[in-house]
Structure 1
Amino acid sequence: MGPHYLTKLFKPSSIAVFGASERPESVGGNAFQNLLKAGFKGDIYPINPKHDRVQNQVCYPNIESVPEIPDLAVIATPAKSIPAIIQACGERGVANAVILSSGFEDKAGKVLQQKMTSIARNYGMRLIGPNCLGILRPEIGLNATFSKNQAIPGNLALVSQSGAICTAVLDWAEANGVGFSQVISTGDAADIDFGEILDFLALDPQTKNILLYIEGIANSRQFMSGLKAAARMKPVVLLKSGRMPEGSKAAVSHTGALVGGDEVFSAAIERSGAVRAQSIAQLFAAAKSLSHNIQIKSNRLAILTNGGGPGVMATDRAAELGVKMPEISESSMQKLNVFLPAHWSHGNPVDILGDATAERYVQALDVLQNDEQFDGTLILLTPQAMSDPSGIAQAIIDYSKAANIAKPIFTAWLGESLVSEARERFSKAKIPTFRTPESAVEAFSFISTYHQNQALLMQSPAPADQCCKQSDVSGARAIIETVLSEHRSILSSTETRAIMHAFGVPITPAIEVNSPSQAMVAAESLGFPVSLKINSPDLTHKSDVGGVKLNLSTVQEVRSEYSKMVKRIQAEQPQATIHGVTVEPMFKRPHVRELLIGVMRDPVFGPAITFGSGGTSVEVINDNAVALPPLNEFLAQKMIKQTKVSKMLKAFRGLPEVDHAAIVSVLLRISDMVAQLPEIIELDINPLFADENGVMAVDARITVQAPPVNHKPYQHMAIHPYPSELIKSLETHSGLAITLRPIRPEDAELELDFVHNLSERSRYLRFMNSLQTLSPQMLSRFTQIDYDREMAFIATTEDKNGKNIEIGVTRYTTNPDGKSCEMAVVVRDDYQHQGVASALLASLIQHAKSKGLQIMMGEVLAENGSMIELVKQHNFTVKNMADDSTVVEIELNLNKA
């Protein structure tokens, strides 16, 4: 695997600085001075036609006169000059530029920016900025910023849209001894944005942890793809300021009123495996912990304090963040009783009283660190008359060095002048130290939450229910296209029900009528009791305008209520178009709970699904969970558990537990619906009745909008769903019937069985080692793939017992250069030489071409003659590796395949 295509941008060996000057107060002068001060380990070329020398360095009039082609251009000249500079750099072969200059904010500036990026694109140049602080890479002495701060080397990467936040973090880090692997200010992000930067940082060996400051997302798919790749490999903590434009402002449904942009953003972050901070103070707390590479298996915290008040403050914050504070084990309680005063707290927090000595602190800490109930310890100190803050700190530092304890220690010495020396000692010893108990608890929470999120990502969802009714996507789309052709955006009640039926969502029938006599016939046909609901595209919440009448038991009641309802609403809502009413059977069961399932279209992340309490008071109760599709069973279950109404779904007060699986099924069907139908902008199922016998939607509403011209499948979604359109059945040349399809998370068990059934030699030839089985991490990596950047096709067939089994798999992963991919293929021993491998490889090649990749490559053991013969049949070139005769390199030019 070669270097990432952004490596020379963020790790250049030579730099040209446009706008370098003798004036350190200027942006260009400051940036050039910073490069000199930081000790950049490469060549620096100041460019300024007005000077022969700048800051005692030879200065060049233009890029053409520079003796070599620099890896990076740092530009700090007026905005109007930059398109010409980019043109000159492109012609010279400069591949990357960081544009510090501002002046692109107004209408004329936007035109300049468009011109600049267009020129860069023509030459394949990549740009950071404009209007950014710059970039830093301390390990190579790179400080291409106009900040007043330098940075020390470390393992923490910072990416920020705000230059001001960058300078604040750098200033804080300098005072706290926190080092960085990379600092990147994206500015206006005319070209490179978070997604590509996260791609680079995910593979950067110097970066162990990542901090993000975000104001807005331009490309949600790329952002999510990059964030998931990074968070799967290393902790990512982010802070987002401001709320994204709220879809609820234009929404007319319950869902739109409930779900705003910020909730969707939080759902996206949770889905990615990253952790979200809520304030700059929390970001600093996370940075301090991440800089020490702390790992926490779970979130059980012990608190050790010499004062009750700080302990209570820490406990309150822990409760708010969901941090667990278990009781002390009986054995630990007995050990503490031996040396602690009689009046210690006898619980967690462990209050060892105001006269606590260094010896008492260390003895208590040792007990807590060895207690299996806890995953970490927070130590608090208030500087009381009898305490020695510095001495106690040093004793804790000495203990942490001597004790062979893997659990992290967090500290918070409260105060200022009396504790400043202790804080310095902790910082030098790489023990996280904070000014407040709350900040320390937040830091513990961030790290533990990250590791919990990773555990969630490793979960293998249960196999999909093979008995589910197949969705009638084409039928549903035909209905929606008819609605759009009639220039309507809101589906009628019967059209909505048809869409629900097409995707297998249970819903009560409804008959649209426009006269009292039709209403009577409909009611008699459906059977009493029935309900009447006003039928108007302009009246979303029917009950708010008196447009719902329930439990009508006779045709006389139906006739009377129809006339009264229509007449009253026409008088009170003269602007509304009234099409009559819908007649629906009353759904009466004694144990139902009212739920809501909805969909809204976020302007950045696309469709978002919500689940929660239903009924007429949903906005008041505001009990809902939000998630991005596509959902699987595990994610649907998780959504339900996040709500308060989930407790009401269990048995209580004589009510039986509801059919939980039926609710999950509806969530999955709605997820499938919004993935397959990009026209759906809003959807409400309210209420969805649930009881022990299943679920039934009683009312639903769908709003649609025509997708953009040339809309690609799933383009409207931030996360690429399972590409079911790639499933195909075929017969190999040997007559074997197989199904080729992309792998999915639910295939975890199939994949395990497949590897288990490979012979030892086949496992060796595939993995180049004596692998016996797949670890949970490997299983997750193989089955939970990002369909945007990789693909894995499996071949399945039925064995002699009629069981569906996996008999072969092939996959490619896009390389960091974004142009090539690495492939592999393996077939079960008892199904080899039957055309399975060839069919798999052909599908893989075709998909890689469709994604615009240019080269497919791989490494094969020289003794694997069957594989070498296979790839030759598919026009791969094969050559021996210069440094290893046991391995050959294979390569296919996809443009010619």
Structure 2
Amino acid sequence: MAAKGSLGLVSQSGSLTASILDWAKQNGVGFSNVVSLGANTSVDLAQVLDFLANDAHTQSILVYMEGITHARRFMSSLRAAAAVKPVVVMKAGRMPAGSDAALTHSAAIVGADDVFEAALRRAGVVRVRTFTQLFSAARCLASRYRPVGKRLAIITNGGGPGVLAADWTNDIGLEVARLGETQRASLALKLSPAASIGRLIDLSEEASADHYRDAVLACASDSGVDGVLVIYSPKPTCYPNADPESIAKAVIEGSAKLSKPLVACWMGDDTVRDARALLNAKPIPSFRTPESAVDAFGNIASFYQNQQLLQQTPPPLSTLATPDAEGARLLIEGVLAERRRVLTEMESKALLAAFHIPVTRTMLARSATEAMLIASQLGYPVALKIDSPDISHKTDVQGVVLNVMSAAQVRDTFNSMLTRVKRAKPEARINGVTIQPMSGKPRGREIYIGLTNDEPFGPVITFGAGGTMIELIADQAMELPPLNQFLAHRLIERARVAETLGHWRGSPPVKMEALEQVLLRVSEMVCTLPQLREMDINPIIVDDDGAVAVDARIVIEHAPQNTQAYSHLAILPYPAGLEREWPMKGGDLYRIRPIHPDDADMLQALVKSLSPQSRYFRFVSSMTELPAKMLARYTLIDYDREMALVAIHTDRVEQDDGSYQEVQRIVGVSRYITNPDQTTCEFSLVVADDFGGQGLGSRLMHAIMDVARAKGLEDIEGLVLSNNDTMLRLMRSLGFKVKPFPEDPDFKLCVKALQ
């Protein structure tokens, strides 16, 4: 049986569970819960995650999984768990990227495992590859440190181990931190003459315990360092300072003044066993190899970077100009009515234009004479491209010619292109040749933005280097929609092509805002149009003046019949459409809207402002404020299984200089959580004491019941303390049946049918 501990383990493999338990027993690792699901016909992974997230004995959650069946429910549970506890996931099975049947570049270069990685990142969790990494990651994430970056300082007493650590740091996407000039000069005075402070802090073989302590303290005071790796390599007895235990004690002492993650690597075995035990007894993760220690810091950095992604709750539409969504739907329905799935280039660009994505002007020529007339109107130079629903990649059949400079050249190019294409693809239907002006961006960079659909995660937005060699370059970063500007910026940063978007070979930096706006527009398209299956905008030419889509190909199909909005997305957008303004007695106004993570401070202020009796009625507790984990749990929700509506009132607060400042505060919250039966939900309600009697509680309950009703839930219920007369009167006035609660006479059960 498993030893007791603070780790919660859930696994979809019985044999691997047995292996993990055997390994854990030998390494002194304990568990709060171990759940082996097997075929999980009665209890699924999402339900276990919900249980572990609310279990007081579980501090960190370890997950081994082989597959999921319901992406929305899985993501909802995973995000809720990761909001309050570190979650580490290991998944078996890597589906090979690409498919011979793919109709666009995006679908051809995105693999299922890449999509899963993107989903985990958005859920705020860390993924590992081996089960020994599961435990090292969990231990690191349970530490008190909260890094803000990926710059790792490496302190070592041997060049070889330090170089190995530095190489692996770069290989996994981290950076080797360099001390600033001030810290470097100060530290150099305290070290031996043989030490060097450059890319590594090499204390030399003469390093003493004091040298190690001084190096750790120098890293602590340097703002350019986000984490510290301390390596000790055993030295021969001829070195008087080579005492691994005293050095371990010095590092422990130095780490007490460190507000950054510190990981240790005491290499060797017999001579360092006692020193390693000292480190393990403290909150300092210790490893046997430099690569393992670097991986551990990488897990910490990834977790807290992913937590930033978890906090994002974008709406389905950005704050940019409203798109012509109805026109886009009519275009799609027209194509589907013709029993076609692949939009022509002109139709694809029309769809992009409906969402205000800049596109090159494109016209279709069905004869060489038409081509010459169109080219003269558009102005030279122009580009000619074959237009066929049966040709996915035009360059494969020599169906693209650029920089055509004259009418005669247009005529000759038109005729020769048709001849080449018919020879290469005799069965292809050819509509004609499109004519478009060249982008006018000679120093622009070619990038692509795409869309693919994954089973089971649904739409995935991809970004990377574009052009004709897109599959060969295979540069793709991806993100699950919806996006906001923060997520769009992070998506761009993860692609290799991001290195070319700044100053590049004499070209000025591109207009990053324009590129981010294209991504936001694509996100709007994905959220609004469930018919989209695949999309290639390749290339998009971007420079310091803006971005323009030069070519596009879109694949559509009939959307599945579902009454719920955004049912095609794995992550539900922020439901901005639920925002309403309501009048108060006396003519004042308040606004009801869904809660979001930024409301944490206002929610805490509301709880603190409540009277002891009001807090007890709401939480059945004497606590004066919400614990951090509970606050995160209440403000970061998925808007699917759970909804919380807050009433916002704007107060005018007089300042010291006599002026007034408007300050927003939460004055009421209503909430429901769907029960495991998926047909009923449980409600809660709290109203600020100074806003009682304003009809606020009644309005919040009506609003939350409307949302639950729209979700298809049949009944809403809640427990109210028997002595909470005000709340019980409100429930009866709203048509709730108030019944005794058999399990506890101190409560009444309030139930109302929604349908």
Both proteins in one fold, TM over 0.5: yes
2:580/2:592 contact within 8 Å kept: yes
State the distance in 1 between where 2:580 and 2:672 align. Answer: 22
Q: Determine the structure 1 residue equivalent to 2:656.
A: none
Cα offset, 1:787, TM superposition: 1.0
Structure 1 residues 656, 860: closer, same or farther in 2, change over 3 A? farther
| Match among 268, 272, 276 for residue 415 of structure 1 | 268
Structure 1 residues 505, 763: closer, same or farther in 2, change over 3 A? farther
Amino acid at match of 2:480: L
State the distance in 1 between where 2:663 and 2:368 align. Answer: 56
Cα offset, 1:859, TM superposition: 6.0
Q: Determine the structure 2 residue equivalent to 1:874.
A: 734
2:97/2:108 contact within 8 Å kept: no
2:641/2:673 contact within 8 Å kept: yes
| Match among 9, 18, 22 for residue 167 of structure 1 | 18
Tell me the secondary structure at the aligned position of residue 445 of structure 1.
helix
Q: Determine the structure 2 residue equivalent to 1:811.
A: 670
Gaps of 5+ in 2: 653-659
1:825/1:841 contact within 8 Å kept: no
State the distance in 1 between where 2:590 and 2:347 align. Answer: 38
| Match among 838, 841, 852 for residue 701 of structure 2 | 841
Deviations 1:744-783, CA, capped at 9 Å, x for gaps: 56xx48x978998999679996889999999999997666
| Match among 657, 682, 697 for residue 821 of structure 1 | 682
Tell me the secondary structure at the aligned position of residue 894 of structure 1.
strand
Q: Determine the structure 1 residue equivalent to 2:300.
A: 447
State the distance in 1 between where 2:441 and 2:181 align. Answer: 50
Q: Determine the structure 2 residue equivalent to 1:857.
A: 718
1:759/1:829 contact within 8 Å kept: no
Q: Determine the structure 2 residue equivalent to 1:4.
A: none
Structure 1 residues 388, 582: closer, same or farther in 2, change over 3 A? same
Q: Determine the structure 1 residue equivalent to 2:655.
A: none
Q: Determine the structure 2 residue equivalent to 1:687.
A: 539
Structure 1 residues 406, 184: closer, same or farther in 2, change over 3 A? farther
1:281/1:439 contact within 8 Å kept: no
Tell me the secondary structure at the aligned position of residue 117 of structure 2.
helix
Cα offset, 1:628, TM superposition: 0.5
Tell me the secondary structure at the aligned position of residue 684 of structure 2.
strand
2:383/2:401 contact within 8 Å kept: yes
| Match among 524, 536, 539 for residue 672 of structure 1 | 524
State the distance in 1 between where 2:242 and 2:674 align. Answer: 51
Structure 1 residues 692, 754: closer, same or farther in 2, change over 3 A? farther
Tell me the secondary structure at the aligned position of residue 753 of structure 2.
coil
1:383/1:389 contact within 8 Å kept: no
Cα offset, 1:566, TM superposition: 1.4
| Match among 253, 256, 269 for residue 104 of structure 2 | 253
Pairing 1:893–2:739 present: no
Cα offset, 1:682, TM superposition: 0.3
| Match among 172, 177, 180 for residue 326 of structure 1 | 177
Q: For residues 510-659 of structure 1, what are the structure 2 equivalents within 5 Å?
A: 510-651=362-503, 655-659=507-511
Q: For residues 368-379 of structure 1, what are the structure 2 equivalents within 5 Å?
A: 371=221, 377-379=228-230
Cα offset, 1:165, TM superposition: 2.7
Cα offset, 1:535, TM superposition: 1.0
Bigger CA radius of gyration: 1
By relative contact order (CA 8 Å, sep 6+), the higher-ranking structure is 2
State the distance in 1 between where 2:251 and 2:371 align. Answer: 82
Pairing 1:283–2:134 present: yes
Q: Determine the structure 2 residue equivalent to 1:269.
A: 120
2:461/2:523 contact within 8 Å kept: yes
2:669/2:685 contact within 8 Å kept: yes
Cα offset, 1:302, TM superposition: 4.1
2:318/2:520 contact within 8 Å kept: no
Deviations 1:626-652, CA, capped at 9 Å, x for gaps: 100011111011112222333433355
Residue correspondences, number? 737
Q: Determine the structure 1 residue equivalent to 2:360.
A: 508
Cα offset, 1:786, TM superposition: 0.8
Structure 1 residues 176, 500: closer, same or farther in 2, change over 3 A? same
Q: Determine the structure 2 residue equivalent to 1:35.
A: none
Deviations 1:851-881, CA, capped at 9 Å, x for gaps: 536444366998995x665444323467999
1:823/1:856 contact within 8 Å kept: no
Deviations 1:595-640, CA, capped at 9 Å, x for gaps: 2111011122111101222222222333332100011111011112
Structure 1 residues 568, 449: closer, same or farther in 2, change over 3 A? closer
State the distance in 2 between where 1:844 and 1:624 align. Answer: 41
Name which of structure 1's ranges 225-234 and 339-348 shifts more when overlaid on structure 2: 339-348
Name which of structure 1's ranges 840-849 and 280-289 shifts more when overlaid on structure 2: 280-289
State the distance in 1 between where 2:586 and 2:338 align. Answer: 52
Q: Determine the structure 2 residue equivalent to 1:47.
A: none
Q: Determine the structure 1 residue equivalent to 2:145.
A: 295
1:658/1:692 contact within 8 Å kept: yes
Q: For residues 17-56 of structure 1, what are the structure 2 equivalents within 5 Å?
A: none
Structure 1 residues 763, 853: closer, same or farther in 2, change over 3 A? farther
Deviations 1:376-418, CA, capped at 9 Å, x for gaps: 5433333332179996236625873898446565333333454
State the distance in 2 between where 1:592 and 1:376 align. Answer: 38
1:600/1:609 contact within 8 Å kept: yes
How does the TM-score come out when normalised to structure 1?
Answer: 0.71
Gaps of 5+ in 1: 1-149
| Match among 189, 197, 204 for residue 40 of structure 2 | 189
Amino acid at match of 2:15: A
Cα RMSD of the aligned pairs, angstroms, is 4.5
Structure 1 residues 695, 397: closer, same or farther in 2, change over 3 A? same
Tell me the secondary structure at the aligned position of residue 196 of structure 2.
coil
Pairing 1:382–2:240 present: no
Cα offset, 1:348, TM superposition: 6.4
State the distance in 1 between where 2:641 and 2:114 align. Answer: 27
1:877/1:890 contact within 8 Å kept: no
Q: Determine the structure 2 residue equivalent to 1:176.
A: 27
Structure 1 residues 538, 463: closer, same or farther in 2, change over 3 A? closer
Percent identity reads 39
2:461/2:480 contact within 8 Å kept: yes
2:64/2:90 contact within 8 Å kept: yes
Structure 1 residues 744, 248: closer, same or farther in 2, change over 3 A? farther
Structure 1 residues 815, 396: closer, same or farther in 2, change over 3 A? farther
Q: For residues 775-814 of structure 1, what are the structure 2 equivalents within 5 Å?
A: 784-793=636-645, 810-814=669-673
How does the TM-score come out when normalised to structure 2?
Answer: 0.83
Structure 1 residues 585, 839: closer, same or farther in 2, change over 3 A? farther
Structure 1 residues 305, 646: closer, same or farther in 2, change over 3 A? closer
2:231/2:265 contact within 8 Å kept: yes
Structure 1 residues 698, 469: closer, same or farther in 2, change over 3 A? same
Amino acid at match of 1:812: R
State the distance in 2 between where 1:375 and 1:654 align. Answer: 33
Q: Determine the structure 2 residue equivalent to 1:311.
A: 162
Amino acid at match of 1:444: F
Structure 1 residues 524, 329: closer, same or farther in 2, change over 3 A? closer
Deviations 1:18-40, CA, capped at 9 Å, x for gaps: xxxxxxxxxxxxxxxxxxxxxxx
Structure 1 residues 778, 187: closer, same or farther in 2, change over 3 A? closer
Amino acid at match of 1:256: A
Structure 1 residues 391, 776: closer, same or farther in 2, change over 3 A? closer
State the distance in 2 between where 1:691 and 1:780 align. Answer: 41
Cα offset, 1:493, TM superposition: 2.5
